Amino acid sequence: MNQKESVEMDKEPKEPVPKRDPDSPSDPHRKFTLFFAIGALSALLLFSAATSLIYSKAVSRHEKRFNEQQALQAYLAKKAIADKINWIADHGKLLALYSLPEFIQGKRDLNSLERLFKIEQSLSPENLAICYVDAPGKVVYGLPHETPAGREAERIAVKLAQNYLANGISKKEDMIVPPFHITNRFQMVVILFPVYIENRLRGVTAMTFDLKPIASHYIAPIVSGRYGAAYLQDNRGNVVYDHETDIIGKNVFNGIHDKYPDLLRVDRRLASEPSGHDEYRFTVERNGRVSRKLIAWDSVMVGEQKLIVCLSAPDMEIDRELVSFRTQWIISALFLFIALTTMGLFFLRTRQRLFKQAASLLKDRVEERTAELQAANAKLKQLSITDSLTGIYNRGYICKKLEGEVKKVIRYGHPLSIILFDVDRFKNVNDRYGHQFGDSVLQKICDAIKENMREIDFFGRYGGEEFLIILPGINLEQGHVVGERMRKGVEALKWDKPNFKVTISGGIVTHDTGSDSELLKTADDLLYRAKSRGRNRMETKTPNPVTT
Give the DSSP per-residue string, 83-133.
HHHHHHHHHHHHIIIIIHHHHHTTSS-HHHHHHHHHHHHHH-TTEEEEEEE
The residue among 467, 297, 282, 343 whose CA lies nearest residue 393 is: 467
Domains of the chain: 82-205 (3.30.450), 214-318 (3.30.450.20), 395-539 (3.30.70.270)
Cα 491 to Cα 508: distance, rounded to the nearest angstrom: 18
Categorise residue 473: left if φ over 0, alpha if ψ from -120 to 50, beta otherwise.
Answer: left
The dihedrals phi and psi of 145, each to the nearest 5 degrees, come to -65, 145
Non-local (6+) Cβ contacts of 387 within 8 A are 393, 394, 395, 460, 461
In one letter, which amino acid is 69?
A: Q
* SS3 per-residue string spanning 156-171: HHHHHHHHHHHCCCCC
Q: How many residues does the chain have?
A: 548
pLDDT, tens only, 410-437: 999 899 999 999 999 999 999 999 999 9
The residue among 299, 350, 379 whose CA lies nearest residue 79 is: 299
Q: Record the pTM.
A: 0.52
Q: Does residue 508 sit in helix, strand or coil?
A: strand
The residue among 126, 125, 157 whose CA lies nearest residue 141 is: 157
The dihedrals phi and psi of 421, each to the nearest 5 degrees, come to -135, 160
pLDDT by residue, tens only, the chain of 548 residues: 444 444 344 444 555 555 555 444 455 556 656 666 787 677 777 777 777 777 677 777 877 888 888 889 999 999 999 999 999 899 888 988 899 999 989 999 989 888 988 888 888 888 999 999 998 788 888 889 889 999 999 999 999 999 988 887 667 888 999 999 999 999 999 999 999 998 888 999 999 999 999 999 999 998 876 778 899 999 999 999 999 899 999 999 998 888 889 999 999 999 999 999 999 888 877 677 888 888 999 999 998 999 999 998 887 766 565 666 667 667 776 776 677 667 655 655 666 677 677 778 888 888 888 788 787 777 777 778 899 999 999 999 999 999 999 999 999 989 999 999 999 999 999 999 999 999 999 999 999 999 989 999 999 999 999 999 999 999 999 999 999 999 999 999 999 988 899 999 999 999 987 889 999 999 999 999 999 999 999 999 754 443 43
Please tell me what DSSP assigns to residue 420.
E
* HSE, side-chain direction, 13 A CA sphere, residue 184: 5
Helices (DSSP H) in 386-515: which residue ranges? 395-412, 426-433, 435-451, 476-491
Kind and range of the H or E run holding 75: helix 28-94
CB neighbours of residue 11 within 10 Å: 7
Interior angle at CA 250, CA 246 and CA 256, nearest 5: 85
Q: Does residue 146 sit in helix, strand or coil?
A: coil
Give the DSSP per-residue string, 264-296.
HHHHHHHHH-SEEEEEEEEE-TTT--EEEEEEE
The residue among 506, 547, 490 whose CA lies nearest residue 419 is: 506
Cα 202 to Cα 218: distance, rounded to the nearest angstrom: 37
pLDDT, tens only, 243-269: 989 999 999 999 888 888 999 999 999
